[in-house]
Amino acid sequence: MYSEETVKEAHMKFNIFQHRLSSEAIDRINEVGFEGDLGEFETDAKISRDVTFFGSERWEPTMAAKFKKVAMCEASNLEDVFHMGNGYGDQSKFERICDMRSLSVGDLVECVDTGDMLMVDPEGWTAVSYYGLEA
């Protein structure tokens, strides 16, 4: 588990990344099911089926390429980021870049100041390795 003591400096900058299934991926999953031949959408299905429920336990670093930056904020700690990402807290320090759902299990939060990438887990946060993430 990730310790909030690592992110304790006031007013740090954070980026929020989320995965969203494309309509093509949804159509393919509906056509063959999660256990069928998903072809190019296999990683999308794994994220949707596994990571959004189990968090970092099912994370693979290459999955990061499927995530998109959806928001930025300034906050004192990860708890404040979570509150802002769910529509409460100080929204004046929260900027949505594009369509964003509430901050949930499987979402990524980057601490810009430390370079740490953290995943929202069912309980708490976990630092994760990542490849291919475009900020």
**Averaged pLDDT, 98-123:** 95
Cβ atoms of residues 8 and 77 within 8 Å: yes
Residue 4 predicted with pLDDT over 70: no
Per DSSP (E only), the strands in 50-90 are 67-75
State the pLDDT at residue 10.
Answer: 59
Task: Give how far Cα 35 sits from Cα of 32, 39, 89, Å.
Answer: 7, 11, 40
Q: Tokens for 107?
A: 């979402």
Read off the pLDDT of residues 43-61 as tens digits, 9 standing for 90 and up: 999 999 999 999 999 999 9
Please give the residue that has the higher pLDDT: either 7 or 29.
Answer: 29
Q: Tokens for 34?
A: 């999660």
Cβ atoms of residues 33 and 42 within 8 Å: no
**Averaged pLDDT, 109-115:** 94
- Radius of gyration of the chain from Cα atoms? 15
